A and B are shown apart, each in its own frame.
Chain A
Amino acid sequence: MQKSNSNDPSKPERRGFLETFLGISVVASLISFLYPVLRYVIPPKQAELGSDLVLAGHVGDLKPNTGKIFPFGSRPALLILTSDGNYHALSAVCTHLGCTVQYRSDLREVWCACHNGTYDVDGRNISGPPPRPLESFGVMLKGDEIYVQRQRNA
């Protein structure tokens, strides 16, 4: 394809330079394309569990008859360990005006500090302004990990 130019001593140098330059820059460009792809295929540390399943805590985090708030997707949720050893998980968003509720060990009920609404540990609204029960979630134990899952409706 290329005739050798022995009558033009300067050309071979330039030819070599151009090819080398092009070769290097092409390889560099390919690296700049492949680098993101390789980083992409390596899975991130935080494996996605899905919006419906969240790790709420570990066994031993809660003493009996206490509760704790944990993030469930984008909203706060409440995990309660009642004195009979059962876990209950509820949405912690009060159905009255959206304040975050808490578990009251003394009342053994879920209570909202904003306007004194109360719910039982299954989320049913007992007294005060709340018009609807709190959404209740399923709790699953895997080893010492406590998973909370949104209940699937039929």
Chain B
Amino acid sequence: MQENLLQPRDDSRGKQMHPDDNGAVSRVLFAPLLICAALLLLSPAAAFSQAKNTCIACHSQLDDPLHVNPDEYAAGIHAQKGITCVSCHGGDPTADDMDKAMSKAAGFKGKPERKAIPAFCAKCHADSAYMRGFDPSLRTDQLAQYLTSVHGKMLAKGDDKVAVCVDCHGVHDIMPPNDPRAHVYPTNVATTCSRCHADAAYMKPYKIPTDQFALYNSSVHHAALIDRGDLSAPTCTTCHGSHGAAPPGVKSVVNVCSTCHVFQAQLFDSSPHKEAFDSLGFPGCITCHSNHGIQHPTDAMIGTGDGAVCLKCHSAGDPGFEAAGAMHDQLVNLDSTIARSDAILNRAELYGMEVAQPKLQLADARDDLMKARVAIHSVQTAQVDVDVQASMKVAQQTYQAGLAALAERSYRRKGLFVSLGISLLVLIGIAFLIRKLETPSHE
């Protein structure tokens, strides 16, 4: 692989790939020979590699597109494993003289063409025997997958605007995917993809939408991944694949979603919708929930009212319409019953009654409501009813508990008033007794 070379990037995309170089001093230098020689004495090159590395010594001082951030390079996985500039670009890293360092004689290859990059990286990364020496669990099928992807296929046809390895992984700042600094770390993936896919001008020739990133950012999955830090939440590559990136086919969308949303998928598959959707060529899940901008579902989504997705296909009179309305009513009734219990328990609590136990029971009722909301994917009211009834029972029990708490409060007050009444009588009695004892006719 010492034969492969990478020339400094000269296209504008290169600028966007490099992270901010806060550390490096940006100086405009047009006498590289002189400066390199002088800076060699101060170069940080010695710090990270036993061997002298004049490549970094010069290129860390140069501007884009020739700039290489030495700290990022040093922290990157390749440098960490001893794979340095020479491994990819060739040349002589010990030569102070620029022409000598980047001479053909020294094996300098420069920057590879974009079209050649996948094969270039695969020279190592597809070589199982070689990669085993670094980490036996690393996959080595990335190139094979890439060739099946939309990016790979179009690259093969000659389009080099599509993503190649370095567009996603970076060039000199490649980190392992499980490192939070990596461009392909789950929380960074969407941003990485958006560099092309959200750029309307760049994507113009391809005639596909460029709103996916914006939609995804408004979605529950984004909220889970970025806001809550839940790394199990999906990002672009979860559904589209990474190396073999392609949009899932209509038939396979359900399979993709069902990797996490098992229950919903099972219910859908056994529901009348499956056959209907298949025959109409509709993809499951996203027909109602959309694909990128998935919002938290609400009870309004099901039924026959405003915002109900059922109305896309169903109209008044057909059994689906009836079922939709029925299920909506089931959910809404249950929700309001739970809310009623919640209200009375809160009121009791405000009055100082201890209702911690019923409040926690109500959490069970809410769990069942959630299960009911999953059950609607069967589009059978009987199935939804199973969870609704369970929840109603608990909600009603807690409502009774709330009533009991309020009754107890009344009882306490009544008891207090009785006691106060008796005390008042005692006070009156004592007052009269005092008066009697102290009026002058008695001693």
Say if the two chains contact directly (CB < 8 Å). Answer: yes
Interface residue? B432 (CB, 8 A): yes
Q: Which of B259, B261, B360, B422 counts the most A-chain CB atoms under 10 A from its CB?
A: B422
Closest to A8 in B: B441
How many A-B pairs have beta carbons closer than 8 Å: the answer is: 67
Closest to B425 in A: A25
Using known A-B contacts A29-B423, A96-B232, determine if residue A2 contacts B442 with beta carbons closer than 8 Å.
yes
> Within residues 50 to 106 of chain A, which ones have a CB less than 8 A from any CB in chain B?
74-76, 96-97, 99-100
A22, B430: Cβ atoms closer than 8 Å: yes
Interface residue? B418 (CB, 8 A): yes
Interface residue? A28 (CB, 8 A): yes
**Which of under 10, 10 to 19, 20 to 34, or 35 or more describes the interface residues of B?**
20 to 34
Interface residues of B (CB under 8 A from A): 230, 232, 259-263, 356-357, 360, 364, 367, 370-371, 374, 418-419, 422-423, 425-426, 429-430, 432-433, 436, 441-443
Choose one: A33, A75, A115; the contact of B260 (CB below 8 Å). A115
B367: chain A residues within 8 A (beta carbon): 99-100
In the A-B complex, list the 10 residue pairs whose CB atoms are closest, starting with the nearest. Answer: A129-B232, A22-B429, A25-B425, A116-B262, A32-B419, A25-B426, A74-B360, A29-B422, A28-B422, A115-B260
What's the least CB distance linking B259 to chain A, in Å?
8
CA gap between A55 and B232 in the complex, in Å: 36
B262, A18: Cβ atoms closer than 8 Å: no
What's the least CB distance linking A92 to chain B, in Å?
10
Offer 28 A-B interface pairs, CB within 8 angstroms, sorted by A: A1-B443, A2-B442, A15-B436, A18-B432, A18-B436, A21-B429, A22-B426, A22-B433, A25-B422, A25-B425, A25-B426, A28-B422, A28-B425, A28-B426, A32-B418, A74-B356, A75-B360, A96-B230, A100-B364, A113-B262, A113-B371, A115-B232, A115-B260, A116-B260, A128-B232, A128-B260, A129-B230, A129-B260
What's the least CB distance linking B317 to chain A, in Å?
35
A141: chain B residues within 8 A (beta carbon): none
Interface residues of A (CB under 8 A from B): 1-3, 5, 15, 18-19, 21-22, 25-26, 28-29, 32-33, 74-76, 96-97, 99-100, 113-116, 128-129
What's the least CB distance linking B427 to chain A, in Å?
9
B423: chain A residues within 8 A (beta carbon): 29, 32
A26, B426: Cβ atoms closer than 8 Å: yes
CA gap between A85 and B433 in the complex, in Å: 77
What's the least CB distance linking A54 to chain B, in Å?
13
CA gap between A116 and B442 in the complex, in Å: 91
Closest to A21 in B: B429
A28: chain B residues within 8 A (beta carbon): 422, 425-426
What's the least CB distance linking A43 to chain B, in Å?
18
Identify 8 new A-B residue pairs, CB closer than 8 A, beyond the known A22-B426, A22-B432, A29-B426. Answer: A18-B436, A21-B425, A29-B423, A32-B419, A33-B419, A75-B360, A115-B261, A128-B232
